[in-house]
C-alpha cells in the first residue's frame, strides 16, 4: 500500500512545522490505509495477484479498477497453478475493472488467477485533498478520544485512539465516490 499524499504536500497546504513531520507522516499512512479499507480498493497503483470465481460469462468483473495493466491471466480448475493454462484472448475494460473474453470464463471457484497493476497512477486531486484534510483534522484534534483507566501519576494509563466515528462527513463524501459496492 502506498501513501496517497506526501509530507511535502501536507506541510505546504497545512503550513505545518517540521517538528511534526514524523507524526504527520505516520498519520498520512494511517489515513491512506483507512481510505483503502473504507473503499475496499487499491487506490494508489500497485502490482497484485488476485483469484476470481469463473462465472461462465463473457465478462469477468475484477474487484479493482482502474486496470493499468495485466501481467498474466491463468485458468486452473484444480487451483494448484503448476499446470495452469495461460489465457491471452481477453480485452481489458479498464474503466469498469473487467476482462472481456468471447470464449467465456469457465465456471469454478477461485479458478482464475489475474496478475496486474491496479489503482490510480496519479491520485485524483479530491482523493488526495481528503487525505490532507483528515491528517490536518487528526493533528488539530489531540483529544479525538481517550481510552484507559486512571491517571498516569497513579499508575493508570490513557491511550489516544482514532475510531470509526472520527471521519468528518466531507471526507466520507469523497471516499464514497471511490467505494466498491458489494452486491
Residues 58 and 105 in one domain: yes
Residues 167 and 133 in one domain: yes
Task: List the beta bridge partners of residue 61.
Answer: 98
Residues 113 and 79 in one domain: yes
Cα 133 to its chain centre, rounded Å, is 18
Kindly give the parts of the chain with pLDDT less than 70: 141-166, 182-183
Region of residue 40 (phi > 0: left; psi between -120 and 50: alpha; otherwise: beta) = left
Residues 105 and 130 in one domain: no
Residues 36 and 60 in one domain: no
- Supply the pTM of this predicted model: 0.78
- Answer with the one of 70, 99, 118 that is the final residue of a domain: 118
My answer on whether omega of the bond before 66 falls inside 30° of 0, hence cis, is yes
Residues 53 and 107 in one domain: yes
The DSSP secondary-structure symbol of 27 reads: H
Q: Is residue 2 part of a domain?
A: no
Measuring CA to CA, how many Å separate 46 from each of 13, 70, 79, 183? 26, 12, 24, 25
What's the confidence (pLDDT) of residue 78? 87
Range of the structural domain that residue 76 is part of: 46-118
What's the confidence (pLDDT) of residue 142? 53
H or E, element range at 176:
helix 169-178
User: Strands, E, within 77-126: which ranges?
Assistant: 85-86, 91-93, 98-100, 108-118
What's the confidence (pLDDT) of residue 168? 87
What's the confidence (pLDDT) of residue 23? 92
What's the confidence (pLDDT) of residue 156? 53
Which of 125, 100, 117, 5 lies closest to 66 in space, CA to CA?
A: 117
Residues 51 and 112 in one domain: yes
How many domains does the chain contain in total?
Answer: 2
- Answer with the one of 89, 118, 147 that is the final residue of a domain: 118
Amino acid at each position: 500500500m502506498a501513501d496517497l499524499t506526501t509530507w511535502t504536500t501536507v506541510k505546504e497546504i497545512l503550513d505545518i512545522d517540521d517538528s511534526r513531520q514524523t507524526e504527520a507522516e505516520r498519520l498520512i499512512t494511517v489515513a491512506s490505509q483507512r481510505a483503502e479499507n473504507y473503499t475496499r480498493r487499491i487506490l494508489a497503483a500497485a502490482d497484485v495477484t488476485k483469484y476470481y470465481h469463473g462465472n461462465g460469462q463473457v465478462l469477468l468483473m475484477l474487484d479493482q479498477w482502474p486496470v493499468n495493466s495485466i501481467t498474466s491471466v491463468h485458468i486452473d480448475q484444480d487451483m494448484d497453478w503448476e499446470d495452469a493454462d495461460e489465457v491471452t484472448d481477453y480485452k481489458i475494460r479498464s474503466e469498469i475493472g473487467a476482462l472481456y473474453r468471447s470464449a467465456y470464463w469457465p465456471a469454478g471457484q477461485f479458478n482464475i488467477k489475474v496478475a496486474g497493476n491496479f489503482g490510480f497512477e496519479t491520485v485524483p486531486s479530491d482523493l488526495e485533498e481528503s487525505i490532507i484534510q483528515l491528517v490536518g483534522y487528526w493533528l488539530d484534534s489531540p483529544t479525538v478520544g481517550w481510552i484507559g483507566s486512571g491517571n498516569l501519576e497513579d499508575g493508570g494509563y490513557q491511550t489516544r485512539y482514532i475510531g470509526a466515528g472520527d471521519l468528518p462527513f466531507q471526507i466520507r463524501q469523497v471516499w464514497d465516490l471511490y467505494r466498491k459496492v458489494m452486491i
